[in-house]
Amino acid sequence: MDATTLEQSALHLPLADRAKLARSLLLSLENLSDMELSDAWLKEW
């Protein structure tokens, strides 16, 4: 499953499930270095 398909599926989840998923995804970024985070954000733009 690609990221776009996954995103579309996630957007159809109930609010509580989307919030739980968002929290989990954000927490997963805490282990990245500042450089890794910067690179990841730049790739999105």
Per DSSP, helices labelled H in 1-45 are: 3-11, 15-28, 34-44
d(CA 11, CA 45): 21
pLDDT at 17: 98
Which has the higher per-residue pLDDT, 12 or 30? 12
Amino acid at 32: L
Report, as an integer, the average pLDDT of 6-13.
97
Tell whether the torsion through CA atoms of 1, 24, 21 and 41 is positive or negative.
negative
Instruction: Tell me the two tokens of residue 1.
Output: 């499953």
pLDDT tens, residue by residue, 14-44: 999 999 999 999 998 888 898 998 898 888 7
pTM: 0.72
pLDDT at 45: 72
pLDDT at 19: 98
